[in-house]
Structure 1
Amino acid sequence: MSTANSKRFAPAFNQTTLVILAGALILSAAMGIRQTFGLFIGPFSFDRGLPVTLIAFAIALHNLVWGLAQPFAGAAADRYGSAPVVAFGATTFAAGLGLAAVAPSGAMLIVGMGLLVGIGVSCTTFGVVLPAVGRIASPENRSMAMGLVSAGGSAGQVLMVPLVQGVRLSSGIATSLFVLAFLMLLIAPLGMVLDRRARVGTPLQEAPVAPLRKVLGQAARHRGYLLLTLGFFTCGFQLAFIATHLPEYLSLCHMPVGLGATALALIGLFNMAGSWACGWLGGRYRQHHVLGWLYLIRSLTIGAFFLLPKTPASVVIFAAVMGLTWLGTVPLTSGLVAKVFGTRHLGSLFGLCFLSHQIGSFLGAWLGGLVFDLTGSYSLLWEATVVAGLVAAMLHFPIDDTTVSTPALRAEPAAA
């Protein structure tokens, strides 16, 4: 009997494992590459004579385009599957990097690194990958599975930052961007793995399926979903500012050359443990409470780093703590949306929530450059990230995480 049961559930385990591995690889490439953009601010400015504000705007724009495109990418993956969406996104991402590599002007850089990369990222990251994982994982293991994918995705940041730094120093900006474009093309076929479904041992599909417009209307009236969406704005604002401007900020503080790249790599390294831990905590405690504490810890860490003297040791400690709280918000937020509304339209609902995150990302990256050009300092933005994080923490604790009833069950009359 035990042998029969093990055979029955083995395919489901294998299918889930394959989806987790494929999702982690896709996220590793896409997220790892975009986390290197801060390393190009100085070189683009010095080598090509572009203003810091313009470079920061191009990087910020990809965050905004990502957010605007994410609901559509998520809805397309919900309807047509992940394979065509990931393939299109990886190709578009690579095209944007290639265009940025040869961009002779700021306008071309904005189109490449801003518009095309933003569309590509929306099709190859959380809004497409995590819903695929959420559908194949059992409800009790869903948060953990999403955390594992997010943790695996952080490996890209650990690997990409030193890779880009080394190639850029030895061969220049263009070569390093072409290398990244080639890596994006390699992950294009992995979307087919995300569409795999276990034949046995997995939970039944949620039924009946509510129309998307009804679910969106229900979410728009749900106080918890609105608070979650507002809080997610802060996550994007904090992370985009730090990822984009930390290397330049450290150089202004007369820190050793290369410490900025090391800090970004350390953030990615510790994020692997942090994302897994947040997924684990989300499976055992109420996810919105974990989110509240995460925002609180992150904001206190940012405030302490800004106020205390800067040393290589303090930078390393800051990077480690930030890494532990970096992307743990994503499996918790997507898991909370799945808990409240189910997984059928998870790509669309998380995509709308993620739009708020990316508006914050746009402002964090762009305002960092703008404020620096106007004042010669990043101080105002460091202070803003602390205040925004404290507000986000307070927004998450009162969220109601009760599963809502399906609109179709209430709206559709019984058959005659």
Structure 2
Amino acid sequence: MSAVARTTNTQHHADHHDQQHIAPTNEISTRQNQHSSKAIRRSSKLTFGGGVYILVTLFLAVGAINSQNNLLFWLFGVAIATLIVSGVFSGNALMQVRLKAQAIPDAYAGDRLRLHYTVSNHSRFFPLLAAMISEVPEKLSEKKSSDAKFEAAALLHIGPQSRCKVTGSFVPSSRGRVAMREVRLTTRFPFGLLQKTLVFECPRKAMILPHILAIKPELIRVMQGHGEEVRKQTHSSGSSNEYWGLREYTPGDPKRSIAWKQSARQGKLVVVEHAQPISTRLWVWIAEPKDGFENLPINSERAIAIGASLITLATTRGVPIGLWMPAHGIRMMPGNGKSHMMRCLRALGMIDFEQAAAKSTGRSNPPPSANADDVLVIATGQSQIVQAKNLRVLHADDPASYLIDPLSLPMSLQGTPAEVAS
């Protein structure tokens, strides 16, 4: 369904829709904020209806000449006049059209992104009627532009010396950088015989962030609660204020840790032992498979989406979380807040598996503080994961282990059974 234009004599209000995840912040430079230009190319072509119309007109001409019928001559003249009026009217209406395209904000894969345009008609006499505005994508995520679903903006009417704002949209199905270079305005007014087209150069770029999946909340809770087991297994003297127990004094223990009353009762020196502090920080570790990420495209894209979803979920719950993917130069220490989350998501969105500079090693080292922090490992295939304390592995090819509803996996991440199992 196309969006309908609204004139600027009333204030333009942007639609704000409730979202299930934090909206990305646009950080495009001010010089790219808006682009206004004249048309760089013009074209005109005959439509199918116009071809039929001309064919009928030729039959009228042949019939009029052969029969010398005045009525056929009159109909032939009207047909020719209609064709001329169609070309002249639509051509003059487009001569003074200008288009301004607003910058494209960052968005999540699978979300609808609004594209805003301002169209001005500088003609003194001719209005612009029944036009369609659509994008000509340069590239999308280094993949085919057909990955995105575009919806053209419909422009019903712009009077002489006036302007209006119109809105189109597109739904990107994959993450990565999106580049829009040209905008096309077409009209078949008034009779649908000719299609006139203007092409405007409006270069804009935006980042499409990874899919945000409905991750099981217990993944975060389980890792936070996992510290209880760690505390029962690992403890050290004097590392926190939480009481752990008593043990016999050994040479080298500080004297301030000696429990004098208990030592007097037991007749030997004992010291107070404190529990090791529990880390509430998480790491998302996307482990590199033996054969490299580029050989497992579907599982690798799933791993990116899982990592982005875990980071978003942890941010909404106030849990510091870090991102570890050393094969692609991503080493982000645990942090919280929206700005930290957006840095992580943009880093994931920019990963290019096919042009990765790092070569597959088949072995992934854990994050630097893995022994002190909890780690969620996302495995995309067979990889030699160096075991670390507080570690849990999620397999990208098993959506039931991390999704609330396994059927909610986006189509672009489903793949074929052969791609997932490879």
TM-score of the superposition, structure 1-length normalised?
A: 0.25
Judging by fraction of residues, say which structure has more strand. Answer: 2
Q: Which has the larger radius of gyration?
A: 2
- Higher RCO, 1 vs 2 (CA within 8 Å, ≥6 residues apart): 1
